[in-house]
Amino acid sequence: MQLRRICGFVAQEDNLLPLLTVKETLMFSAKFKLRGMYSEERNIRVETLMQELDLLYVANSFIGDEETRGVSGGERKRVSIGVAVIHDPPILLLDEPTSGLDSTSAYQVIELLSSMAKVKQRTIVLTIHQPSFRILHYIDKFLFLSRGSVIHSGSLDQLEETITSMGFKIPIEINALEFAMEIIKPLEDMDPRSCSLVEHNKESPDYLDKAASLGKNYASGCRRFWIGKCVFKVEALPKYLQERRVLMKEASRGSYKVSSYKLANTMISIPFLLVVAILFAVPVYWLVGLNPSFTAFAFFLLFWEPSFFSGYFIPKENIPKYWMFMYYVSLYKYPLDSLLVNEYWSMQGKCFSWKDRDHLVCSLTGGDVLRVRGLED
């Protein structure tokens, strides 16, 4: 819990709900992370944060995704940063915040992070891939790694001095980091400060140790996700798959529990699923010619829903013994039994199939149907 309060994390991918606006996304995060604040205070916090992130002009624009048009990639990244710092943590971790952005958007993001570090006195740790020359001047210290070892830890000027002292000359057209990648082997051999990450972490500041444990908390959240996902219904699966990454991110950071998401999702889905069931059942019930009484029809709407292990597709007698427990724990066995009782209980003596054309010998009655399912009592 302490780590979540003092540390914010921005993943490489922007896992946000596409149909929420920028302001709604930040407000949604604020309601979970700033629970001790009054509503007006949260509104002020969100408005102030959007101004800091230069997002006021897109406050009412949708986040969007591959299918829904929304804000640009740079704006979406700034929203992700806003979600991570909504509770004003002193430490912010970012995983390649410039990946997938054009040069202008990447420069704006790094410029924003540099401003946040100076104005808010916030420690910002990020991984970055092939930074441009302009971006390098906004980064105070670099940790240069190669094959799990620290090659350089310090400023860009110190790296240039190290390269020069080795007898190399940095070409004008590339920066010191890019050139260091070309002479990585000599740097590994010459720098006596090179050490394994395990040894380096022993001397690292306390906040870096705390930051390293963030991954453990994230993995814990993923485990909770895999446990919780087993209870989702098939009807909600398409929607759930769209929200899975958002759920993993927010559950791992303690915004809410998977069980809370499941309960809220179920409550929201019930009206929609009820409408779908009615639209399906109204024509099908009468076309098939089931029990025409209103009571039976109402019962059908509320409780019928067959499934594979309910005995609808495979009779109980044909289910292998090692799968028999699925027959009894199936969520759909009991609605199917209810449907059969609803349909045939009042017609146990009625014949539904005859052995001869003259209808003299009955081969199947309503009572027989119930008896096959073990419902005659």
pLDDT at site 309:
43
201 alpha-carbon distance from chain centroid = 30
Closest to 11 measured CA to CA, from 95, 104, 98: 95
Burial class (CB in 10 A: 0-12, 13-18, 19+), 219: exposed
User: How does pLDDT run along the chain (377 residues), one tens digit per residue?
Assistant: 577 778 888 888 888 888 889 999 999 889 888 888 898 999 999 999 999 999 999 999 999 887 778 899 899 999 999 999 988 888 999 998 888 888 888 888 998 998 888 888 888 998 887 788 888 888 888 888 887 788 888 888 888 888 888 888 888 888 888 888 888 888 877 654 444 433 444 444 444 444 334 333 333 333 333 333 333 344 445 566 667 788 888 887 777 888 888 888 778 877 877 787 778 777 877 787 777 788 877 777 666 544 444 455 566 777 778 777 777 776 677 777 777 788 788 887 888 887 777 777 888 888 888 887 777 76
By the 8 A CB rule, do 165 and 159 touch?
no
The answer to whether 92 and 125 are in contact (CB under 8 A) is yes
Q: How far apart are CA 349 and CA 342, in angstroms?
A: 15
Collect all residues with Cβ–Cβ distance below 8 Å to 139 and sequence separation of at least 6.
110, 114, 128, 131, 156
CATH superfamily of 2-229: P-loop containing nucleotide triphosphate hydrolases (3.40.50.300)
Distance of alpha carbon 284 from alpha carbon 280, whole angstroms: 6
The two three-digit tokens of residue 105, written as one number: 């958007």
At 243, the amino acid letter reads E
Which pLDDT value is given to residue 238?
55
User: Which sequence spans correspond to the domains of the chain?
Assistant: 2-229, 304-377
Distance between CA 111 and CA 134 in Å, rounded? 10
pLDDT at 158: 87
